[in-house]
């Protein structure tokens, strides 16, 4: 535990030093160095706890009523500390050269201050064992990530996105405050180990706490109907911040849900169904919108909504299976959901860092202005294609392993249950298949339009160079993806202590045995690919090779403007598979008469939930609140009267409550 | 084990191109012609193998990854599936998901290698291919789930075990009939046959699969054609086992029966191609949605 505490202190100290120095380069060095030292320490401690299953704890007094500086690193917390430390390490390494250009015109000191504070706060959130400490860390995490999202605050869209994030995060925070107050009212103290009485709660109050936790934490996690801040905030933030937020910060929401579930009585089936169905809906919704975005980072942000949906589907279905008394199926589903958390941290890291490299090199986030980048940036392109394979759950990489476990649990439930009870898991199985096929559309489009073909813009034809440290970060994360893909049984053994804590079931060796053939299959696939590819390369040495232009149907002057764009690639999917309401809005493009004048056509895809439901709701609320304007007279005496009345009411209330002897 | 593996691969590698020959012969007979010899596909492959390469200046290594992955995937997928009564050489719980995702891998690289040329024709084909698979893939999963519900395991080998014969005679017969239809339609769409796609069309605008490989030439094109033939045989094996679940117990007669079943399937495809026209493109997703609903209906029937 001392090692972890010193890691926290190093991170915190690094952030203060980074803030106090004047030069950007020095701040960058301090920031990177402190993460580089602290992250491996935290990761090492987490690894030890995961392997041994022995929790570590620490406690110190804290001068806040009800608060105590108590920390607990049990397997569940360690399960989250490990990806946080790995991803923050590589993001910091990547950020050095990535931010260097911005550092020439403004000081990077605040950036590194907030970056290190955010990493500290994330670690503190998952190891806090006191509700007040947890909420404080949670709030620091929100605020610091808000400032990181708003880094390019001279742009209006960035300010709007950051504002939306802050607003949504605090609505979630309100639910969490309520939840912890409610939970604390049943117990005597705010330490998590005082929360024992929660496990004996009647189902009604427990369900209320669960719902508050699900939606309060869900806002941060990107749970489907409350994910609205995510598609705007991720593109606005610098890429390594998006990677860290999408990879691990939003997972602290899932951590919160799991932590609260571990304190509540065993979950009834409907809790699980709610989570699983919201997850499945979010997966389908997220990937459908991801397939239509032209901003590459927005596309990745929607894919985050999809992946969070898959995790919640796994975890929720695990709860259902456990409630129905099928421990084997529950373990498969929980293992799939948990492993997907790690997998997503790795491959979404690769994808966001790669997107950052492309944005850095071309100066645009619009995929229609890219193209032909694989020829010009071969290594970034290769790593990005690797990440796309992993995120589309294709063999031999890691995405398939976690999705396979969830598929298997759904199919086993479908064959084990009787009659129509089996229909829902079976339909979810097919739905997950459709999500997988749509992910293939999304990511084949992403790499096909950005990396392949001809450059559609001069900026894409002459991209800037990418620094080696950025490549190393991406490469290391992708290597992790490959390792989980070919050695899944080892990864599952590593997660088994956390898994048994979440599932409240003993974990045997049969899970590892179940996934072993997948790893062997991945190895076999790679071997055959290498042999055939080698044979092919060898054949090329002996054959005549001619270079010519792409077949253009006989047209002699093809230009890059004629090439397929992101919109044209997605048009077939959006017009034939999706409901009208989810299609992108098209404006302009009307052509009439025999000699039409030139016209413009624009397409934009907006978030359905935000634009159709939440925005009108909040606008209506604001209108109602306008009617209370007469309370605000703008005169000092009136406000003094308000204060007097409020104090008097409070005094009377406290006297009345004291007279009744209540608390 | 090793002998079984060799037999499996030998059957696949030797007989896969024959299916296309049978389809072409059937279509020729329907058209009143003699048609190309049965072995024409083999001659084509041999001719392509001897040729040189023509590359577009735009392309990268992804362009060549398409054919390589397209050949690798059906080879590996064939090991998971029983050929008639000959059991699958590799089988484990849940391999049906790997089977589906292996084909997704080959689709990813086929599409990527098409987009690598930068031609909008190939982009068109790629967009169509991935869209259709969004409907075909869940259908295939539902079909496999119906089979899983009737057996007691989740590996393709148990799904297509000998219990199918009794299942056909039981209440589940209706479901099996429905999924046979679904599987046939999935086979047609996945292998780009009429009425979903016309392998012999001559206009780039109307093509799906053919347009994606327009720029491939020589041995690369040969690999693609061979990979497509293997894919048809692997998916056909699923259908043939479902339709003819008998077994004799002797490997040679089992193998012959399997090949006869495949030949019958090829004739059936040839007949469909001769008597039907291609569907209009917007109709294709509608037919596929219908197929998916049919497979869900089969699932509901089997749960009853």
Disruptive mutation site among A380, A394, A422, A516 for chain B (greatest number of B CBs within 10 Å):
A394
- Taking residues B68-89, report their average pLDDT: 93
Q: Which residues of B touch A539 (CB under 8 A)?
A: 219
Q: What is the pLDDT of residue A394?
A: 94
Q: What is the pLDDT of residue A85?
A: 95
Cα B282 vs. chain centroid, distance in angstroms?
A: 22
Q: Which residues of B touch A549 (CB under 8 A)?
A: 56-58
Give contacts of A 410-469 with B, CB under 8 A: 411-412, 414-415, 419-420, 422-423, 426-427, 429-431, 433-434, 436-438, 440-441, 443-445, 447-449, 452-454
Q: Give how far A417 is from chain B: nearest CA, Å.
A: 10
Q: Exposed, middle or buried, A56 (CB in 10 Å: 0-12/13-18/19+)?
A: buried
Confidence of residue A139 (pLDDT cuts 50, 70, 90): very high
- Residues A597-639 pLDDT 10s: 888 888 888 888 888 888 888 889 988 888 888 888 788 999 9
Q: Which residues of A touch B121 (CB under 8 A)?
A: 551, 553
Of B62, B102, B120, the CB nearest to A452: B62
Q: Which of A262-271, A489-498, A611-620 has the lowest mean pLDDT?
A: A611-620
Total domain count, chain B: 1
Q: Which residues of A touch B104 (CB under 8 A)?
A: 392, 394, 436-437, 440
Q: What is the pLDDT of residue A261?
A: 93
Assess B287–A contact: CB distance below 8 Å, yes or no. Answer: no
Cβ distance of B145 and A562 shorter than 8 Å: no
Cβ distance of A543 and B219 shorter than 8 Å: yes
Q: Which residues of B touch A402 (CB under 8 A)?
A: none
Q: In this structure, what token pair is assigned to residue B162?
A: 């000998």
CA-based nearest residue in chain B for residue A452: B116
Instruction: Name which residue leads in pLDDT, A245 or B208.
Output: A245
Q: Which residues of A touch B100 (CB under 8 A)?
A: 433
3-state secondary structure of B215: coil
Of A395, A558, A560, the CB nearest to B101: A395
The C-alpha atoms of residue A118 and residue B291 are separated, in whole angstroms, by 50
Disruptive mutation site among A287, A564, A571 for chain B (greatest number of B CBs within 10 Å):
A564
Give, as one character, the DSSP assignment of residue B87. Answer: P
- Taking residues A20-43, report their average pLDDT: 91
Q: Which residues of A touch B95 (CB under 8 A)?
A: 517
The C-alpha atoms of residue A298 and residue A293 are separated, in whole angstroms, by 7
Of A441, A550, A558, the CB nearest to B131: A441
Q: What is the pLDDT of residue A83?
A: 95
Of A394, A529, A544, the CB nearest to B108: A394
C-beta neighbour count of A270 within 10 angstroms: 14
Ramachandran angles phi, psi of B118, nearest 5°: 75, 5
Question: DSSP characters for A406-442?
Answer: HHHHHHHHHHHS-GGGGHHHHHHHHHHHHHHHHHHHH
Cα A296 vs. chain centroid, distance in angstroms?
A: 16
pLDDT > 90: percent of chain A: 66
Residue among A453, A451, A452, A444 nearest A573 (CA): A444
Assess A559–B contact: CB distance below 8 Å, yes or no. Answer: no
A273-307 exposure pattern, b = at least 16 Cβ within 10 A, e = fewer? bbbbbbbbbbbbbbbbbbbbbbbbbbbbbbbbbbb
Q: In this structure, what token pair is assigned to residue A374?
A: 């694989």
Cβ distance of B138 and A533 shorter than 8 Å: no
Q: Give how far B5 is from chain A: nearest CA, Å.
A: 14
The answer to whether the beta carbons of residues A126 and A93 sit under 8 Å apart is no
The C-alpha atoms of residue A59 and residue B253 are separated, in whole angstroms, by 75
- Taking residues A549-559, report their average pLDDT: 80
Query: Which residues 6+ apart lie within 8 Å of A377 measured at CB?
Result: A357, A358, A361, A463, A466
CA-based nearest residue in chain A for residue B202: A553
Q: What is the pLDDT of residue A660?
A: 63
Q: Give how far B66 is from chain A: nearest CA, Å.
A: 10
pLDDT higher than 80, residue A661: no
Q: Which of A200-214, A239-253, A445-459, B203-217 has the lowest mean pLDDT?
A: B203-217
Confidence of residue B257 (pLDDT cuts 50, 70, 90): very high
Instruction: Name which residue leads in pLDDT, A659 or A574.
Output: A574
Cβ distance of A453 and B124 shorter than 8 Å: no
B183 within domain boundaries: no
- HSE-CB at A165 with a 13 A cutoff on CA atoms is 29
Disruptive mutation site among B109, B123, B124, B137 for chain A (greatest number of A CBs within 10 Å):
B123
Q: In this structure, what token pair is assigned to residue B177?
A: 């009939």
Place of tokens 């059937």: B26
Q: Which residues of A touch B141 (CB under 8 A)?
A: 429-430, 433
CA triplet A548, A553, A555: central angle to 5 degrees? 80
Q: Which residues of A touch B56 (CB under 8 A)?
A: 547-551
Place of tokens 């190895």: A523
Of A378, A427, A437, the CB nearest to B134: A437
Mean pLDDT of chain A: 91
The answer to whether the beta carbons of residues B36 and B25 sit under 8 Å apart is yes
Cβ distance of A434 and B137 shorter than 8 Å: yes
The residue count of chain B comes to 304
Residue among A503, A136, A561, A538 nearest A334 (CA): A503
Q: Exposed, middle or buried, A644 (CB in 10 Å: 0-12/13-18/19+)?
A: exposed
Of B59, B94, B138, the CB nearest to A433: B138
B247 within domain boundaries: yes
Cβ distance of B137 and A436 shorter than 8 Å: yes
The C-alpha atoms of residue A3 and residue A11 are separated, in whole angstroms, by 12
The C-alpha atoms of residue A357 and residue A346 are separated, in whole angstroms, by 17
Q: What is the pLDDT of residue A610?
A: 84
Question: DSSP characters for A548-578?
Answer: EPPP-TT-S---GGGS--HHHHHHHHHHHTS
pLDDT higher than 90, residue A647: yes
Q: Which residues of A touch B127 (CB under 8 A)?
A: 564, 568-573
The C-alpha atoms of residue B133 and residue A434 are separated, in whole angstroms, by 9
The answer to whether the beta carbons of residues B114 and B123 sit under 8 Å apart is yes
- Residues B16-35 pLDDT 10s: 999 999 999 999 999 999 98
Q: Which residues of B touch A577 (CB under 8 A)?
A: 131, 134-135, 285
- Taking residues A535-561, report their average pLDDT: 85
Confidence of residue A662 (pLDDT cuts 50, 70, 90): very low
Q: Which domain holds residue B88?
A: 2-134+194-277
The answer to whether the beta carbons of residues B206 and B50 sit under 8 Å apart is no
Of A419, A444, A548, the CB nearest to B130: A444
Residue among A515, A411, A441, A276 nearest B137 (CA): A441
Q: What is the pLDDT of residue A224?
A: 87
Q: What is the CA radius of gyration of chain B?
A: 19
Cβ distance of B55 and A392 shorter than 8 Å: no
CA triplet A422, A424, A427: central angle to 5 degrees? 110
Domain residue ranges in chain A: 266-481+520-530, 633-663
Q: Quick one: which H or E segment has residue A236?
A: helix A230-236
Q: Give how far A135 is from chain B: nearest CA, Å.
A: 42
- Taking residues A430-445, report their average pLDDT: 95
pLDDT higher than 80, residue B205: no
Q: Give how far A37 is from chain B: nearest CA, Å.
A: 39
Assess B120–A contact: CB distance below 8 Å, yes or no. Answer: yes
Helix axes B218-243, A510-542, angle to 10 degrees: 140
The C-alpha atoms of residue A217 and residue A213 are separated, in whole angstroms, by 6
Of A375, A528, A539, the CB nearest to B75: A528
Q: What is the pLDDT of residue B236?
A: 95
Cβ distance of A518 and B65 shorter than 8 Å: no
ipTM of predicted assembly, 2 dp: 0.96
Q: What is the pLDDT of residue A663?
A: 47
Q: Give how far B219 is from chain A: nearest CA, Å.
A: 9
Place of tokens 């970060």: A473
Of A375, A438, A536, the CB nearest to B68: A536
Assess A599–B contact: CB distance below 8 Å, yes or no. Answer: no
Q: How many CB pairs under 8 A join A and B?
A: 243
The C-alpha atoms of residue A490 and residue A483 are separated, in whole angstroms, by 10
Assess B72–A contact: CB distance below 8 Å, yes or no. Answer: yes
- Residues A505-541 pLDDT 10s: 888 888 888 899 999 999 999 999 999 999 988 988 8
Sign of CA pseudo-dihedral A138, A139, A140, A143: positive
3-state secondary structure of A391: helix
Of B68, B90, B108, the CB nearest to A392: B108
Distance in Å from the first CA to the final CA of chain B: 39
- Residues A345-390 pLDDT 10s: 999 999 999 999 999 999 899 999 998 999 999 999 999 999 999 9
- A462 backbone φψ class: left, alpha, beta (φ>0; ψ -120 to 50): beta
Cβ distance of B130 and A437 shorter than 8 Å: yes
């Amino acid at each position: 535990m001392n090692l972890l505490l010193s890691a926290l202190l190093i991170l915190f100290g690094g952030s203060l030093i980074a803030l106090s120095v004047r030069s950007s380069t020095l701040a960058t060095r301090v920031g990177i160095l402190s993460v580089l030292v602290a992250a491996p320490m935290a990761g090492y401690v987490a690894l030890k706890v995961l392997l041994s299953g022995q929790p570590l704890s620490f406690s110190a007094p804290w001068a806040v009523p009800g608060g105590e500086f108590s920390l607990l690193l049990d397997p569940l917390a360690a399960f989250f500390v490990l990806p946080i430390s790995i991803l923050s390490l590589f993001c910091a390494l990547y950020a050095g050269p990535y931010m260097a250009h911005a550092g020439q015109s403004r000081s990077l000191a605040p950036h590194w201050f907030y970056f290190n504070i955010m990493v500290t706060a994330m670690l503190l959130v998952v190891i806090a064992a006191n509700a007040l400490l947890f909420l404080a860390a949670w709030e620091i995490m929100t605020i610091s990530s808000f400032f990181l999202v708003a880094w390019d605050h001279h742009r209006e869209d960035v300010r709007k996105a950051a504002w939306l994030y802050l607003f949504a995060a605090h609505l979630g925070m309100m639910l969490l405050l309520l939840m912890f107050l409610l939970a604390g009212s049943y117990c005597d103290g705010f330490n998590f180990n005082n929360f024992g009485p929660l496990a004996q709660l009647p189902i009604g109050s427990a369900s209320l706490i669960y719902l508050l936790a699900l939606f309060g934490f869900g806002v941060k996690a990107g749970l489907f109907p409350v994910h609205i801040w995510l598609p705007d905030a991720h593109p606005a933030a610098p890429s390594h911040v998006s990677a860290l937020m999408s990879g691990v910060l939003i997972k602290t929401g899932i951590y919160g849900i799991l932590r609260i579930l571990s304190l509540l009585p065993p979950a009834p089936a409907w809790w699980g169904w709610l989570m699983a169905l919201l997850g499945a809906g979010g997966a389908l919704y997220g990937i459908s919108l991801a397939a239509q975005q032209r901003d590459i980072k927005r596309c990745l942000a929607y894919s985050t909504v999809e992946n969070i949906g898959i995790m919640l589907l796994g975890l929720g279905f695990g709860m259902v299976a456990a409630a129905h008394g099928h421990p084997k199926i529950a373990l498969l589903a929980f293992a799939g959901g948990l492993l997907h958390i790690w997998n997503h941290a790795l491959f979404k890291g690769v994808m966001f860092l790669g997107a950052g490299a492309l944005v850095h090199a071309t100066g645009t986030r619009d995929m229609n202005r890219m193209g032909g980048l694989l020829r010009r940036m071969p290594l970034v392109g290769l790593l990005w294609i690797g990440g796309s394979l992993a995120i589309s759950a294709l063999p031999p990489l890691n995405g398939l392993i976690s999705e396979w476990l969830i598929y298997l649990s759904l199919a086993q439930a479908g064959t084990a249950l009787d009659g129509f009870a089996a229909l829902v898991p079976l339909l979810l199985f097919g739905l997950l298949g459709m999500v997988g096929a749509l992910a293939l559309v999304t990511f084949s489009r992403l790499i096909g339009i950005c990396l392949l073909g001809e450059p559609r813009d001069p900026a894409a034809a002459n991209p800037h160079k990418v620094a080696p440290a950025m490549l190393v970060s991406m490469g290391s994360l992708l290597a992790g993806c490959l390792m989980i893909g070919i050695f899944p049984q080892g990864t599952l053994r590593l997660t088994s202590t956390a898994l048994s804590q979440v599932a409240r079931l003993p974990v045997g060796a049969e899970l590892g045995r179940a996934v072993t053939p997948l790893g062997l299959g991945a190895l076999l696939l790679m071997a055959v690919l290498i042999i055939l590819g080698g044979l092919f390369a060898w054949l090329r040495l002996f054959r005549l090779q001619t270079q010519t232009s792409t077949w253009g149907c006989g047209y002699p002057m093809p230009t890059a403007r004629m090439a397929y764009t992101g919109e044209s690639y997605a048009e077939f999917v959006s017009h034939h598979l999706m409901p009208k309401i989810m299609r992108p809005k098209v404006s302009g493009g009307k052509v009439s008469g025999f000699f039409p004048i030139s016209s413009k056509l624009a397409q934009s895809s907006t978030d359905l939930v935000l634009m159709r439901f939440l925005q009108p709701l909040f606008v209506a609320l604001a209108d109602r609140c306008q009617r209370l304007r007469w309370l605000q007279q703008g005169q000092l005496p009136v406000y003094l009267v308000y204060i007097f009345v409020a104090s008097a009411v409070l005094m009377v209330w406290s006297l009345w409550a004291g007279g009744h002897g209540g608390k | 084990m090793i002998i079984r593996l060799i037999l499996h691969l030998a059957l696949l590698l030797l007989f896969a191109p024959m299916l296309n020959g049978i389809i072409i012969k059937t279509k020729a007979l329907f058209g009143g012609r003699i048609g190309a010899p049965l072995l024409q596909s083999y001659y084509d492959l041999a001719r392509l193998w001897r040729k040189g390469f023509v590359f577009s200046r735009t392309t990268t290594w992804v362009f060549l990854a398409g054919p390589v992955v397209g050949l690798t995937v059906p080879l590996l997928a064939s090991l998971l599936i029983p050929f008639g009564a000959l059991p699958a050489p590799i089988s484990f719980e849940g391999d049906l998901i790997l089977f589906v995702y292996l084909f997704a891998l080959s689709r990813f690289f086929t599409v990527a290698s098409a987009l690598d040329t930068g031609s909008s024709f190939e982009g068109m084909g790629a967009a169509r291919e991935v869209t259709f698979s969004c409907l075909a893939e869940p259908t295939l999963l539902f079909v496999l789930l119906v089979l899983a519900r009737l057996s007691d395991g989740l590996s393709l080998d148990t799904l297509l075990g000998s219990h199918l014969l009794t299942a056909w005679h039981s209440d589940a017969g209706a479901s099996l009939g429905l999924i046979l239809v679904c599987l046939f339609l999935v086979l047609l769409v996945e292998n780009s046959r009429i009425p979903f796609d016309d392998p012999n069309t001559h206009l780039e605008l109307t093509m799906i699969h053919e347009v994606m490989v327009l720029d491939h030439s020589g041995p690369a094109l040969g690999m693609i054609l061979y990979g497509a033939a293997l894919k048809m045989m692997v998916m056909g094996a699923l259908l043939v086992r479902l339709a003819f679940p008998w077994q004799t117990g002797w490997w040679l007669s089992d193998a012959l029966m399997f090949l006869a079943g495949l030949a019958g399937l090829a004739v059936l495809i040839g007949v469909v191609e001769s008597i039907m026209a291609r569907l209009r493109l917007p109709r294709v997703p509608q037919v596929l949605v219908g197929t998916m609903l049919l497979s869900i209906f089969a699932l509901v029937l089997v749960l009853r």
